[in-house]
Amino acid sequence: KAAFINFISDEEWKSIEPVSSWFGPSSFLMSSMSALFKLSMWIRHGHGYLTENLGIPVWGSYAVFGFATLFLGMVLGLVSEALGTE
């Protein structure tokens, strides 16, 4: 607390460079990183649900997510191919 008060009273905040808009909280980069973090948390919770609640072994949970990734890749590939041949 004392360090923060000294930071304000000694006006040390004036010597700090502002954050670039590229790294600001509302920038595309930070929004993308936030979305990836949320996805990783969703995957973690899904893994916990599969292993703890449903009793699937850890390797089975990895297999489920692996097949889901392959399936999603195939669907996205088919959609992009269908949209690209108009």
Q: What ranges do the domains of the chain cover? A: 25-84
Both tokens assigned to 49 = 């649900």
pLDDT, tens digit (0-9, with 9 covering 90-100), for 56-77: 999 999 999 999 999 999 999 9
What CA dihedral angle connects 60, 65, 84 and 27, to 10 degrees? -170
Please choose, from the candidates 22, 20, 4, the residue with its C-alpha nearest in 3D space to the C-alpha of residue 12.
Answer: 4
Residue 54 confidence (pLDDT)? 94
pLDDT, tens digit (0-9, with 9 covering 90-100), for 18-40: 777 777 778 888 899 999 999 99
Residue 14 confidence (pLDDT)? 82
What stretches of the chain show up as alpha helix (H) in DSSP? 2-9, 28-48, 58-84
Angle at 71 between CA 67 and CA 77, to 5 degrees: 145
- CA dist., res. 5 & res. 2, Å (int): 5
